[in-house]
């Protein structure tokens, strides 16, 4: 992808891009170019010396003894989690949930981003609710990415007895053997030729052994080589030069090493790479890609723009040929469909948008040479209209194409192009009651099982969204619910029985949302458990310190 961009334009609009850091200029002097490039990028000196460019990605060589990406993230350590959460059990659960949420091949950056996000959520909300949400999300994602072997709990091997045919089955087998087609006639010429080829191929012998001087030198234990010297020579012998489509990439690897992707040039490209005048185009790409309810208005506008441009071109071509008079292009009616734009429609829309943004034209004098019928050359001057911003326009088009194609790699964004998936997703995100979430989950299951409008992966993703929405709605309670919670927290046993009766019959309680009712009933059960514990403790204290009743005789003297 980096080869499609104009490097001069990239230096103007994105000077801090890693694409430039790993693309030194080539003036014909390698040493001078390298020293000048290091001087221009002093903060990336270590990366430039240790990493290598492999196509559109930057890789580094890692040993087998190198710690895993999870171990290199400081905020993912158990000590840091316990320090933030204040509880070792919660810290262990937090680390386990982050591992479940991250993909199996997640890197250091992904772990750091997930952990930082949920640390922020814990500071805003209760720890238990956030850990519950993380656990549910981790279970859903693990069920999607787990293989069949990982999900298999156990298996049992046993031998089946030989199945015996019944009398009727034996008769059918005999009838089938009688009616089977005969074998094709033999082909003696082909059989003899095949036999001869097999004899020639099956009797190969090694004519000579290739002598490897490097193997004799590095792998020999002659002389006074120590164990460390032998290990070093073995690794040196195993090192192999790495190649790509353009040749050698300047790094060596052996069997005990692996390459790790550090930068992906395509993922680094975003709206900040565009000029200020063209950045509004990047904000429209997402809506044009998904269409339907999220981007329906943008899609209609884009198709209307394409229709206007096509009408203008056709009418202008007809005017030049003298067929019709030039008319306004507004007479063309645009397509009113909200279906996402296809790749072909996106190219047409992008061309029209860039023509309107870079509409400046300049007239230049051009000298041309022609020959007349007598083959005599003559020179003449004509005025030619050119676009002075053509290079910048091509650069913007390349960046927009990369951003458009990158959206296909995201499963969620790609699934939003399907109307059924997008409608259910928006309905889930717009709900304020968990009862509505449960009803929409039933609709999603019907769309997957009965109507075949959703795939299994899309249904699983929507189910995960539903779980996440339920966790979000759990903390959204009204002022009346908070008042009830305060009353329940300090209620006595008799008062609690009255509140339980009110939850069934009070008009305000009936109008509450399902998550609020669930919250109240959880508070009631918790208060009942507290009252039972208090009653039990009071009974134990009464048994330990029994009250002894004594008779007191009062003597009153006579008058």
- Per residue in 190-233, pLDDT tens? 888 888 777 776 555 555 555 556 666 667 776 677 777 777 77
By CB atoms closer than 10 A (0-12, 13-18, 19+), residue 424 is: buried
Q: pLDDT tens, 100-159?
A: 888 777 777 788 889 999 998 898 888 888 998 898 888 877 766 555 555 554 545 555
Q: Which of the pair, 312 or 177, is modelled with greater confidence?
A: 312
- pLDDT at residue 155, as a whole number: 47
**Is a pLDDT exceeding 50 seen at residue 160?**
yes
> Of the segments 65-74, 247-256, 374-383, which one has the largest average pLDDT value?
374-383
DSSP bridge pairs for 57: 54, 264
How many residues comprise the chain? 559
**Is a pLDDT exceeding 50 seen at residue 488?**
yes
Q: Quick one: DSSP state of residue 42?
A: G
- pLDDT at residue 332, as a whole number: 41
* 378-393 average pLDDT score: 84
**Is a pLDDT exceeding 90 seen at residue 289?**
yes
Whether pTM > 0.75 for this model: the answer is no
Distance CA 114, CA 308 (A): 46
Query: Cα separations (Å) of 249 from 61, 127, 254, 508?
Result: 12, 48, 15, 72
Q: pLDDT tens, 8-38?
A: 888 888 888 888 888 887 777 878 888 888 8
**Which H or E run contains 285?**
helix 279-290
Q: Which of the pair, 490 or 161, is modelled with greater confidence?
A: 490
Q: Of the given ranges (220-224, 267-271, 416-420, 516-520), which has the lowest mean pLDDT?
A: 220-224
**Which H or E run contains 502?**
helix 493-505
**Is a pLDDT exceeding 80 seen at residue 470?**
yes
Q: Phi and psi at residue 61, in whole multiples of 5°? A: -95, 125
Q: pLDDT tens, 226-282?
A: 777 777 777 776 665 555 444 445 566 666 677 777 778 888 888 888 988 888 898
Contact yes or no for 524/500 (Cβ under 8 A): yes
Q: pLDDT tens, 47-56?
A: 887 787 777 7
Helix 456-473 with 434-449: angle, nearest 10 deg? 180
Distance CA 252, CA 241 (A): 5
- pLDDT at residue 39, as a whole number: 85
Q: Which of the pair, 380 or 290, is modelled with greater confidence?
A: 290
- pLDDT at residue 118, as a whole number: 92
- pLDDT at residue 418, as a whole number: 92
Pick the closest to residue 465 from 136, 190, 194, 230 (CA basis).
Answer: 136
**Is a pLDDT exceeding 50 seen at residue 333?**
no
> Of the segments 65-79, 165-179, 448-462, which one has the largest average pLDDT value?
448-462
Q: How many CB atoms lie within 10 A of CB 23?
A: 17
Q: Quick one: DSSP state of residue 322?
A: T
Give the chain's end-to-end CA distance (angstroms, integer). Answer: 121
* 279-287 average pLDDT score: 90
Only one residue has tokens 């998904």, namely 290
Q: Which of the pair, 148 or 43, is modelled with greater confidence?
A: 43
Q: Which of the pair, 541 or 130, is modelled with greater confidence?
A: 130
Q: Of the given ranges (137-146, 241-250, 471-480, 539-548), which has the lowest mean pLDDT?
A: 241-250
Q: Which of the pair, 393 or 185, is modelled with greater confidence?
A: 393
* 414-425 average pLDDT score: 93
* 420-427 average pLDDT score: 93
Distance CA 522, CA 485 (A): 10
- pLDDT at residue 163, as a whole number: 64
Distance CA 403, CA 444 (A): 30
Pairing of strands 52-54, 247-253: unpaired
- pLDDT at residue 267, as a whole number: 81
Pairing of strands 362-371, 377-386: antiparallel
Return the percentage of the chain with pLDDT > 90, whole number.
Answer: 15
Distance CA 474, CA 125 (A): 11
Chain-wide mean pLDDT for the chain? 80
Pick the closest to residue 384 from 368, 408, 405, 371 (CA basis).
Answer: 368
Distance CA 514, CA 476 (A): 11
- pLDDT at residue 240, as a whole number: 55
Distance CA 93, CA 527 (A): 27
**Is a pLDDT exceeding 90 seen at residue 313?**
no
> Which residues, 6+ apart, have CB-to-CB distance to 382 below 8 Å?
365, 366, 368
Query: Cα separations (Å) of 406 from 145, 289, 400, 466?
Result: 21, 11, 10, 26
Q: Which of the pair, 314 or 144, is modelled with greater confidence?
A: 314
Q: Which of the pair, 451 or 156, is modelled with greater confidence?
A: 451
Return the percentage of the chain with pLDDT > 70, whole number.
Answer: 82
């Amino acid at each position: 992808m980096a080869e499609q961009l104009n490097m001069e334009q990239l230096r103007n609009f994105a000077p801090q891009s890693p694409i430039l850091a790993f693309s030194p200029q080539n003036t014909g002097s390698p040493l001078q170019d390298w020293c000048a490039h290091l001087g221009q990028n002093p903060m990336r000196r270590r990366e430039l010396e240790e990493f290598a460019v492999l196509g559109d990605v930057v890789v580094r060589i890692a040993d087998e003894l190198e710690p895993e990406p999870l171990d290199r993230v400081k905020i993912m350590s158990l000590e840091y989690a316990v320090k933030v959460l204040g509880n070792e059990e919660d810290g262990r659960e937090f680390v386990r949930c982050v591992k479940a949420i991250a993909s199996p091949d997640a890197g250091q950056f992904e772990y750091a981003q997930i952990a930082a996000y949920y640390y922020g959520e814990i500071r805003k909300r209760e720890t238990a609710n956030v850990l519950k949400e993380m656990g549910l999300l981790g279970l859903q994602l693990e069920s999607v990415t787990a293989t069949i072997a990982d999900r298999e709990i156990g298996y049992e091997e046993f031998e089946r007895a030989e199945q015996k045919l019944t009398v009727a089955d034996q008769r059918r087998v005999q009838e089938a053997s009688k009616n089977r087609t005969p074998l094709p006639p033999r082909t003696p010429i082909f059989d003899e030729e095949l036999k001869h080829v097999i004899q020639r191929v099956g009797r190969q012998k090694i004519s000579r052994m290739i002598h490897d001087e490097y193997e004799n030198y590095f792998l020999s234990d002659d002389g006074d080589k120590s164990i460390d010297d032998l290990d070093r020579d073995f690794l040196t012998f195993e090192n192999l030069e790495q190649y790509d489509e353009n040749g050698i990439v300047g790094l060596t690897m052996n069997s005990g090493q692996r390459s790790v992707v550090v930068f992906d040039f395509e993922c680094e490209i975003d709206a900040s790479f565009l000029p200020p005048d063209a950045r509004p185009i990047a904000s429209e790409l997402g809506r044009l890609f998904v269409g339907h309810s999220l981007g329906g208005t943008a899609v209609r506008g884009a198709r209307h723009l394409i229709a206007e441009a096509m009408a203008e071109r056709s009418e202008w071509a007809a005017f030049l040929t003298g067929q019709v008079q030039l008319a306004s292009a507004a007479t063309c009616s645009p397509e009113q469909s909200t279906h996402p734009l296809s790749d072909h429609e996106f190219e047409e829309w992008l061309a029209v948008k860039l023509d309107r943004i870079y509409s400046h034209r300049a007239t230049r004098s051009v000298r041309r040479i022609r020959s007349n019928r007598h083959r005599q050359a003559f020179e003449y001057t004509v005025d030619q209209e050119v676009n002075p911003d053509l290079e910048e326009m091509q650069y913007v088009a390349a960046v927009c194409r990369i951003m458009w194609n990158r959206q296909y790699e995201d499963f969620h964004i790609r699934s939003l192009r399907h109307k059924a998936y997008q409608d259910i997703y928006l309905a889930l995100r717009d709900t304020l009651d968990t009862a509505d979430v449960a009803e929409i989950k039933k609709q999603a299951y019907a769309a997957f099982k009965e109507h075949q409008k959703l795939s299994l992966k899309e249904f699983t993703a929507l189910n995960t969204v539903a779980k996440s929405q339920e966790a979000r709605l759990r903390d959204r309670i009204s002022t009346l619910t908070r008042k009830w919670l305060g009353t329940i927290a300090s209620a006595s046993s008799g008062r609690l029985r009255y509140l339980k009766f009110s939850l069934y019959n009070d008009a305000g309680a009936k109008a509450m949302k399902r998550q609020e009712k669930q919250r109240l009933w959880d508070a009631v059960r918790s208060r009942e458990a507290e009252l039972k514990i208090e009653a039990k403790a009071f009974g134990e204290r009464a048994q330990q310190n029994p009250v002894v009743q004594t008779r007191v005789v009062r003597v009153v003297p006579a008058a």
